[in-house]
Amino acid sequence: MTDSRRPGPSLYVAVCGRRDAVMPRHVQKDPEASLTWQIKDELIRKGKVYYAKLARGKATFIAPRMVPYFHAIWGVRKSEEPKHLSRNSQAVLKVLRREWEMATSDLRDESGVRDRVAFTRAIDELQAAMIVIPSAVYYLPKFTYIWTLAVGRFPEALRRRVNRKTAVCEIARCFLTGAGMTIPGELARVTGLSRPEAGLGNRALVAEGYATSPGTGTYRLIPPLRNPDRLAVEYADHDPGVS
């Protein structure tokens, strides 16, 4: 769970309602941290947003409209699995494709990957490849995640083909729209993109007039009122009377 000490959006900061919110040392006794975990678990259960450990092993929420772009960067398609997935990951995935969803302990036994560390690595690898996601969290009678195939919840988004250049640009656009401004290295740290590729995405936004670059590695969103063309496009996108 991130807080104000790390760049990018934070569910904990949103719950606290303070930009300077810092996660306490003893989170079990903190009501804001407890509420954050409850909201996270409920979001996972409802399945309206994509949640998994993605690039660099960071747990991340992704809006459904952004799933095709993240998948274009980090997703592993079925034909590429023997090349990119470890033997343990393939064993876990084989069981999930047969059973569709399983609790952690059952999946560990059925896949034959009984060592906890090895199993965790396999699950993290499948999450990073955008193949497997948690679909629920239970605390009683013991703590466990329920794992399922990502394509079961986001079939259209994960099957949509997007080229890498477009994906990088749209990820940069999404981040800049929410942040308003990005400093050197920030987009790469938050999203897991390499710094050169993050720079390409940001410069593409400058080229199309969506952003300005007041300094090296710094990019600022151009407000709609200062960009009439963008304003017209946004109004057209949201006007129900426009076909």
Q: How many helices (H) and strands (E) are present in the chain, helices listed first?
A: 13, 8
Name the DSSP class of 222.
P
Contact 32, 114 (CB under 8 A): no
Could you give the CA distance from residue 215 to residue 55 in angstroms, rounded to a whole number? 27
DSSP string covering 130-175: TSEEEEEEE-SSS-EEEEEEHHHHSHHHHH----HHHHHHHHHHHH
Going from the N-terminus, what domains does the chain have, and what CATH number goes with each?
A: 69-159 (1.10.10.10), 164-236 (1.10.10.10)
**pTM, rounded to two decimals:** 0.84
Q: With CA atoms as reference, report the closest residue to 166 among 192, 201, 195, 202.
A: 201
CA atoms within 13 A on the CB side of 47: 15
Residue 12 has pLDDT above 90, yes or no: no
Please provide the average confidence, as pLDDT, over all residues in the chain: 88
Q: Using only the alpha carbons of the chain, give its radius of gyration.
A: 20
Q: Percent of the chain having pLDDT more than 70?
A: 91
Residue 242 has pLDDT above 60, yes or no: no
231 or 160: which leads in pLDDT: 160
125: Cβ contacts below 8 Å, ≥ 6 apart:
85, 86, 89
Average pLDDT, integer, range 17-37: 84
Residue 228 has pLDDT above 70, yes or no: no
Please give the pLDDT value at position 15. Answer: 85
Confidence of residue 225 (pLDDT cuts 50, 70, 90): low
Contact 128, 57 (CB under 8 A): yes
Please give the pLDDT value at position 227. Answer: 55
Average pLDDT, integer, range 183-202: 92
Structure tokens belonging to residue 84:
């990119």
Structure tokens belonging to residue 239:
């006007």
